[in-house]
Structure 1
Amino acid sequence: MTTGARWGMTVPFYDRSLAGSKELVAELPALGYTDIWSAEVNGVDGFTPLALANEWAPGLRLGSAIVPASTRGPGLLAMSAATLADLAPGRFVLGIGASSPAIVERWNAGEFSKPFSRTRDTLRFLKKALAGEKVAEKYETFEVKGFKLERAPKVAPKIVLAALRPRMLHLAAEEADGAITNWLAPEDVRKVRAEIGPETELVARLFVCVSEDADKVRELGRWMLASYLTVPVYAAFHDWLGRGEQLRPMHEAWAAGDRQAALKAIPDEVVDALIVHGDAATCRARIREYVACGLDTPVLAPIPGGEVPIAQAVRELAPGVE
């Protein structure tokens, strides 16, 4: 396990397009950031921002957090990963995960079936394909008949898994190169770490709002939390973390279709636990709490709504600022 030497940033930023992110991304290495991580929901894809970041800020480690295992075919996923691995030898980390029914089925016309098995099978396929092997294998959730990359990367990328509960965390520790999680408090990191052991890299996206207006942050945070924690996998994650009873009123109101009541039912202490907020110094100290509890790679996602503009927040949250 590392000692907090890594300090990542999410791209693109919430307040600007990818095209408008070049100058701020280019500042990151000088500010002390070591990593830049993409996401893939319904905005940018998970690979293009990393290819651009490699040009804008050479030397950063590039990571996807995450690309779904079920929205691309296995071969296409291997080709995309190989392309980034070729552009950034030894500096690209492929993060994959099960995603959710909304993203896989409703938005991408895929099939969200056996998510654990599909992620495991994709991981096993990718390890072989990215090593340059010809893959002809029938997995539990799909079959590949003779796929071989035209040009395998000289350095196969590390593969990390989105993992929220023991079964996937164990898979990440046993067969992948790390685990990615989010929406957790510093003290939750210890519980996650216990499942993967001390040697497996643990990455987490941390949502940060540089603002001393706690009421305003909590209002914003409730909207974000309700949209995530009502997703079954996140609901189960927080049950496992021990927040089931705290979040029960929110789930009941949400299930009844009363969105406003659901928002009001989220306790302040839950928002404060899961969203980093305060002035920049307070936020940096909170991020270091995550590291002290066992997080290797904090990936910051500064959110708008505070008094501090995103660009300023990125600069003030940098690890070297005191």
Structure 2
Amino acid sequence: MRTEVSIGVPGAIGPEAVRVLAPRVEAAGFTGLWLNDTPQGDAVTGLAAASAVTTHLRLATGVVPIDRRPAPALLEDLRRSGVPEERLTLGIGSGQLRRGAVEAVGEAIRALRDGTAAALVVGALGPRMRRLAAEHADGALLSWLPPEAAFTQAAELRRMGSDTQGELPRVALYARTIVDERARPVLEREAAQYASYPAYAANFARLGIDAMDTVLPQDGDLAAGIAAYASAVDEVVLRAITPTGSLDDLLAFVDAAAAQRA
């Protein structure tokens, strides 16, 4: 089965920009639109705007940090927003929690299971969080991984999910992507920023990789870069890195990515 390809953008672009962008993403044949949830950009509000102007585009949050937005508040926001649950993938993560993160995310999964029919995925960096995703959620969202590491972690997730739930968890992967060389300095700054975070720095060291080893395209070929993940994950999310982050840049990204992935 062909690996699905989606687009990821910051929720900070706002709902009005999402209303313009989402139909372009759907028309270009991408599976879904993932919105990062940040203090500057509410992913749920953005996805509500996207749902109003699309018919089948998958809508996803990547990811909502539960330390900032606990499950009860998130459920209330979902009810208020009217985002269609049958099209929603709700990605959650531990945010800035350092102690008890896995347990807190587990509690959030249980609360969300009782309150929404949306698919639940967990932003999973370490092995304990991946096990939680495999055993109690519908899947995991991986990030900052080269294809070989994605293959290893996805195989581990599927094995654990099959052992405990009797079904395979869905595995999606965020891949920072440029389609315009003018965006390379932005990409390099983002890679350096993540490499400065202790948890990511430790993960890169464990894997023996550099953050820039995980970005697309490698060697200038986006289609080949996506294909390299085909045997590993169910969905590749092209996290759009553009020269300015403007709506015009993001629209151009969608068009160029659609042309280059063919």
Q: TM-score, normalised by structure 1?
A: 0.69
Q: Determine the structure 1 residue equivalent to 2:254.
A: 314
- 1:319 and 1:282 map into 2 onto residues whose CA distance is 12
Deviations 1:103-135 (A, max 9, x none): xxxxxxxxx5421111111112221233xxxxx
> 1:37 aligns to what SS in structure 2?
strand
- Would you identify which runs of 4 or more consecutive aligned residues in structure 1 move more than 6 Å? none
Q: Determine the structure 1 residue equivalent to 2:163.
A: none
Aligned pairs for 1:241-320 (under 5 A) are 241-243=207-209, 270=210, 272-277=212-217, 282-292=221-231, 294-305=232-243, 309-318=249-258
Q: Check conservation: 2:141, 2:173, Cα contact below 8 A.
A: yes
Aligned pairs for 1:96-115 (under 5 A) are 96-100=92-96, 113-115=99-101
Deviation at residue 209 of structure 1 after TM alignment: 1.0
Q: Determine the structure 2 residue equivalent to 1:126.
A: 112
Q: Determine the structure 2 residue equivalent to 1:32.
A: 29
Match of 1:19 among 13, 16, 19: 16
Aligned pairs for 1:132-211 (under 5 A) are 156-197=117-158, 199-211=168-180
Name stretches of at least 5 consecutive residues in structure 1 with no aligned partner: 102-111, 131-155, 244-269
Amino acid at match of 1:316: A
Q: In 2 relative to 1, CA 52–12 (structure 1 residues): closer, same or farther, beyond 3 Å?
A: farther
Match of 1:225 among 186, 191, 203: 191
Deviation at residue 309 of structure 1 after TM alignment: 4.4
> 1:276 aligns to what SS in structure 2?
coil
Aligned: 1:62 with 2:59: yes
Amino acid at match of 1:302: A
Deviation at residue 29 of structure 1 after TM alignment: 1.7
Q: In 2 relative to 1, CA 24–117 (structure 1 residues): closer, same or farther, beyond 3 Å?
A: same
Aligned: 1:7 with 2:5: yes
CA RMSD of superposed structures (Å):
2.7
- 1:291 and 1:182 map into 2 onto residues whose CA distance is 15
Aligned: 1:239 with 2:205: yes
- Percent identity, aligned pairs only, is 27
Q: In 2 relative to 1, CA 172–299 (structure 1 residues): closer, same or farther, beyond 3 Å?
A: same
- The structure number with the bigger radius of gyration is 1
Q: TM-score, normalised by structure 2?
A: 0.84
Q: Check conservation: 1:211, 1:278, Cα contact below 8 A.
A: no
Name stretches of at least 5 consecutive residues in structure 2 with no aligned partner: 160-167
Deviation at residue 185 of structure 1 after TM alignment: 1.2
Amino acid at match of 1:208: T
